[in-house]
Each structure stands twice: as C-alpha cells, then as structure tokens.
A and B are shown apart, each in its own frame.
Chain A
Amino acid sequence: MYKTNDLILRTTTSLIAFILLGFAVYLLLAGHNSPGGGFIGGLVTAAAIVLMYMAYGINLIDKIIPINYRTLALIGLLIAVLTGVGSFLFNEPFLSQTFGYFHFPFFGEIELATAMIFDVGVYFTVVGVTITIILNIANDQ
C-alpha cells in the first residue's frame, strides 16, 4: 500500500471546519425566528467533526477532542428533561416555556427564551448520536 499525501485536504479541512462550526452555532441560535434550530445545528456540527475525522484519522482526533459521544447524547437528553422538570418549580405544567427581555452591555436588549435550553439539549443529543453511529460503523472490521 503506497502512502498518500493529504496536504490539500488537511489544509482545507482546518479552514472549513471552523466555518462549519460557526455556521452550526448560528443555526442553533437563529432557530427561534428563522430557519434553523437544534437538530440542523447538531447535524452541521457532526458534519464538521466527521470532516476532521476523514482528514486526520480516528486516533489523532480522539486525542484532540477527548469527548465520549455516548455521554454527550445522555447529557443532551438530561438537559432537555431538566428544562421540562424545571417548570414544576414555578407551579407550571410540564415543559412550560417563558421568555424575557434582558439588557446586555455590548449587545443591547435581547430576548432570551427558555426554549433555547431545550434546543441546546436537542443539539447535544443529535451530535452525540450521529457521531456515535458514524464512528461505530467506521471502527467495524
């Protein structure tokens, strides 16, 4: 087996992965008022991580991103459930959502909704499940 040279792929990956991660965060935060949301943001993040795996191999990326993706999916589900349970603290039905306007020193007035936390849970779950599936298939002999 001859040794291949992946210089172009690796250089473009280090550029494109950053753009992909930024786009994923944009999609996650824009989901309230425009297309986007936790699901598609998680898929784009998974795409960025899979691109890094394709360019650099499993061993190196496992050293750079030491995350157990099964635990990540579990944490996401836990966040989503806890946002639902948290509404019991205010004597509201399960999964009630609310929002408020807050003033930040640099950004000005921003509307913050608790649905965002649920979306973050969806995001982590989608990232964890997708990467788990792909890495398990890739590790198969």
Chain B
Amino acid sequence: MTETIYKATEAILDGTVFICFIAISISLLLLLYRMIAGPTSPDRAVALDTIGINLMGLAALVAIYLVTPNLNDVILLIAILAFLGTVAIAKYLEKGVIIDRDMD
C-alpha cells in the first residue's frame, strides 16, 4: 500500500516538474522575443530582469529534478546579480553614469 503511494507521489512530482520546465521555457522564449523586439531600452532591461527571475525558478526545478540541495546558493546568487545588473542599467539610463563621482 505505502509502496503504491510512494510510486504515485513520485510520478506526480516528476510530471509536475516536467510541466513546469515546459512552462518556464515558453516564458523564456516570450521574454526573449520582448528583448529582441522591445522598442526602447527599458523594455529590454525589464525583460532581462524577468529572465533572471525565470532562471531562478529553473534552477530550483533542476534542484528538485536532480534531488540536490547544492543549487540553493546558485538561486540566491542569480537573484543578487540580476538585482545589481538592473540597478546598474537603470542608473545608466537615468543619469548616464553608474558610479557618480561628486554626490552630496
């Protein structure tokens, strides 16, 4: 009985991970379209930030798929780098410099 339940939950988990992989792939393709076709630079910046968030989800799914806890650091690192990159792009678009010299 328990054996059957284990097998069933494992099948459900595998199916869910598979469906989520496909969904995130479609989301990434749509974001790629927005990045290529985006008329202005902020469109591309926002698309890039969202691609980073999708990559976090993808890393988490890979961690579930491979049954390893070692990818948790990677997820946090992607979040940090995506935030830093977006802040840098936003500052460049608004002020023209990323690290300003004489600020009061």
Residues of A in contact with B (beta carbons under 8 Å apart): 4, 9, 16, 20, 23, 27, 34-36, 40, 44, 47, 50-51, 53-54, 56-60, 134-135, 138-139
B73–A57 touching, CB < 8 Å? no
B94 and A16 contact, CB distance less than 8 A: no
Chain B residues with CB under 8 Å of chain A are 70, 73-74, 76-77, 80-81, 83-84, 87-88, 91, 94-95, 97-103
Q: Is the CB of A59 within 8 A of B84?
A: no
Interface on chain A toward B: helix, strand, loop, or mixed SS?
A: helix
- The one of B73, B87, B95, B99 in contact with A4, judged by C-beta atoms closer than 8 angstroms, is B95
Residues of the A chain whose Cβ atoms lie less than 8 Å from the Cβ of B103: 56-60
CB pairs A–B below 8 angstroms (10 shown): A16-B83, A23-B80, A27-B73, A35-B74, A36-B73, A47-B81, A57-B103, A58-B99, A58-B103, A59-B103
